[in-house]
Structure 1
């Protein structure tokens, strides 16, 4: 608890907010690029501590949220095949595709199992040699190393009944895409500390120079976020555009060498479709040709990933920072965590889920009176 308290000290938070107010002379718009940071900002009211004119936008930093609906539909098609055990992280079970969810497929009889790691799926494959075990591999650079390790262990063990439905995505190309969006309002970024723990932050340096935009590597506790905001606003006020790393207790410029080498060995960079955003060049990781035999879409060659459709959910605009969850007419009524229209209401890192939990009137009342929202 001492470690947590150190980064959640109310007096220190107020001092940071006062320092931000002192250096702020004009409006600025800053985007955090991590769903965990979004939840911390909304939960602790960090955006409400800032001076008028400082706007925080929530970017495409939720791995569940950016996984396209077509991948969910392909997952369901594979999961319902005879002899398949389909494994997924818990949040993914409830994410709607065009044809329902993995949870609904399980209710109809598919053998869909929640796991905490691709290594859990690997253990299931060892335990069931007569079944095809498929793992839905999603996430940013943070989770890609564990997927790579699962592939390397499957190769070492000679497991022929293990495969992956891969939808890993990369953060720097997404930032480039956001900055090229005609609706872009972002003037500074808070980079995700856990992604940078794996990959380092060298890739962000040319983005900052090319676009003239500050990028601050930031952690997830309230004081981490307030410090990141202070440094980002200070750069904006001074006319600088650099990468700063106050999260040095976890992040080094070159990241984690072993994790990066595992990613580079198992995966190849490819174009990737993002839910609600569309195709972003060089923004995904697919299995390298050497490991193509572990690709579930090759193993189940008749399963296709259908194109995205535009529906009522405005998750694309939310993920691009164009709108807030409360701008959606379905928010909290036709769209709830129990009956979500889109992934941003399902995931524990989704912006809509954060606003639903912490920013609805009854949630605010419960928070201020000591209840549970």
Structure 2
């Protein structure tokens, strides 16, 4: 009852603040989308306040070229260790799930490195996908000098450059950003100050998200452009200094392609020369190749905040979690997968129904 009263109070404040204004907020976090959709938070918001998901799902933004590369390695007899979410992500011709190879689902890169130690006669490749949150774990393992039969296909990306690209394009007509709490736990809040746009770092519980949205709408209406921290229990201005030192030691920033985007400058991580012996692409002579995107799939526009999952004619018909056409239907952090699973709810977790 207390949570319901707090949620209703925040929703009323948002409605009063936003009266007469069209506000479009983007979050860049699959967990935020999960909370927002499963909890029915959109049903609490007035119709003139729209919340869309951007490129916040690391599996979703992994381009076809990288999927093609890991499939090629599998077909060449390498043992592939990866997260379960990556199995069904479509490449140009196939996914790991449909490929012929020795595929192992692991919970961490450490498990993959352990497998390589236990099987010195096998060549083991781990596909390292993720943003600033998971990149430190890759760095930590490589700093331990894993065995020579272990390598990594690095698919780490950075959130701020993608935000910069979106703002420069202006196609989504965004009013502000709800920032991902776990990414900011590593990176801190300082680097987001470069963007002169309203931003609020939020946690992941329903009330934490609601409060973050309230703070963001308030900032937008008041004409401020700041980075406010509504997740101070976990996020510090400077971030996690130990994790950032490991990233700096192992990786250097590079230009990289995202699914749904062109090559975004300085948005990726690659291994520094002293760690290139663990670079699977270099080790096995694999070249990333571009490919045509699937016709009819709107993942590209969904990842840029231009379309919603239900705008896609394939959604829930030709494209389902068991037979995904696009990457957004694969991962549990993908907008299409989340909307397919939870989007039919008409009531919020706070038992409020949108009658506005």
Do the two structures share a fold, i.e. TM-score over 0.5?
Answer: yes
Contact 1:358/1:364 (<8 A) preserved = no
Indicate the residue corresponding to 2:64 in structure 1: 69
Equivalent position of 1:187 in the other structure = 175
Report if aligned partners of 1:141, 1:195 keep a CA contact under 8 Å in 2.
Answer: yes
1:296-348 Cα distance to aligned partner (Å, 9 max, x none)? 001111x2211031322111100000000000011100000011001100000
**Is 1:308 the counterpart of 2:303 in the alignment?**
no
How far apart, CA to CA, are the structure 1 residues paired with 2:205 and 2:291?
A: 35
Q: Show the counterpart of 1:226.
A: 210
Task: Find the residue that maps to 1:103 and give its secondary structure.
Answer: coil
Determine the C-alpha separation between the residues in 2 that align with 1:144 and 1:54: 34
Paired residue secondary structure (2:153): strand
Structure 1 runs (4+) deviating above 6 angstroms are: none
Change (3 A) 1:22 1:182: closer
> Bigger CA drift: 308-317 or 213-222?
308-317
Structure 2 distance, partners of 1:182, 1:10, is 36
**Counterpart for residue 151 of structure 1:** 142
Partner residue in 1 for 2:133? 142
Which structure is higher in helix share?
Answer: 1
| Partner residue in 1 for 2:82 | 88
Report if aligned partners of 2:255, 2:265 keep a CA contact under 8 Å in 1.
Answer: yes
State the distance in 2 between where 1:309 and 1:284 align: 22
> How does the TM-score come out when normalised to structure 1?
0.90
**What residue in structure 2 maps to residue 34 of structure 1?**
29
| Residue 16 (structure 2) pairs with residue 16 (structure 1) | no
CA positional deviation for 1:124: 0.3
TM-aligned CA deviation for residue 359 of structure 1: 1.9
* TM-superposed deviation, 1:161: 0.7
Please state whether the residue corresponding to 1:73 is helix, strand or coil.
Answer: helix
| Pair 1:325 & 2:313 matched | no
- Determine the C-alpha separation between the residues in 1 that align with 2:4 and 2:130: 32
Offset of residue 21 of structure 1: 1.7
SS of the counterpart of 2:234?
A: coil
How far did 1:364 drift? 5.6
Q: Which runs of 5+ in 2 are unaligned?
A: 351-356
Q: Tell whether the 8 Å contact from 2:81 to 2:125 is kept in structure 1 after alignment.
A: yes
Pairwise CA RMSD: 1.8
For the pair 1:44 / 2:32, whether they are aligned, the reply is no
Q: In the alignment, is residue 120 of structure 1 matched against residue 111 of structure 2? A: yes
Equivalent position of 2:191 in the other structure: 203
**Aligned equivalents of 1:172 and 1:295: distance in 2?**
25
Counterpart of 2:231?
247
* Shift of residue 79, structure 1, vs aligned partner: 1.2
What is the alpha-carbon distance in structure 1 between the residues aligned to residue 235 and residue 102 of structure 2? 39
Post-superposition CA distance 1:151-179 (Å, at most 9, x none) = 111x2x5x111100011000000000000
Aligned residue for 1:102, secondary structure, equals coil
In structure 1, which of residues 36, 46, 56 is the aligned counterpart of residue 51 of structure 2?
56
Deviation at 1:182, TM superposition (A): 4.0
What is the aligned residue count? 348
Give me the whole-angstrom Cα distance separating, in 1, the residues matched to 2:161 and 2:29. 14
Tell me if structure 1 keeps the 8 A contact 2:80–2:125.
yes
